[in-house]
Amino acid sequence: MTANSTTVDQSGASAGRDMAARDINHTYKNIAANRVSAIEKLLQKLELEIERNQVARDTIDRLKRFYSQRSHDGVRGLRAKLSVSGREDSYSDAIEMKEMFVKLLERWSHYYSAQQIIVYLLARAERQFNDIILPQISTCGVVEINKFMNELIVIPTVEDCGASVLEVDHNTAMGMIYWLAEQCFVRWHK
């Protein structure tokens, strides 16, 4: 550009991407947004199994694993785990919520897809609890641990299965954690 000129010469200009005197519009397609999650696929399969009355003849091995109790430290059962961790006041609610989950487990374990969904939820809860929550037990209070359980396990479970035929609500999802504690897969003490 010269001192008295209003024109610009860009004939020698270069850029790493687009060059324009005004706006540049790009359209991007987010293909990932249309992906169906594993849970959604299994819920679709479950609805077909229900529609076709296809019941499972047995329990899948990955679900059988969660039925075997195993204590790492001699503290067995939900009441004992709650007591050792100073949570004995929540036993009445815990047992009620655990029973809600047990009823869901009994009702839906007749379908292979439901068994797979339940295994997915149990395994995710076990991993989230033992990998993220348990290491913080000694440094966090009850309220903080409850918040972690809610954010990492309860809410994702309800988001995945709340509006499905399984009808998992927050209490049932919390009951899953209590059931895992009774089976000795999670604990609130070091």
**pTM for the structure as a whole:** 0.80
- The 10s digit of each residue's pLDDT in 22-75 is 777 767 665 555 577 899 999 999 999 999 999 999 999 999 999 998 888 899
pLDDT of residue 24: 77
Q: How many Å apart are CA 1 and CA 106, to the nearest integer?
A: 80
- The residue extents of the domains of the chain are 31-182
- The 10s digit of each residue's pLDDT in 116-156 is 999 999 999 999 999 999 999 999 999 999 999 999 999 99
Tell which residue, 62, 179, 169, 186, has the closest CA to residue 114: 62
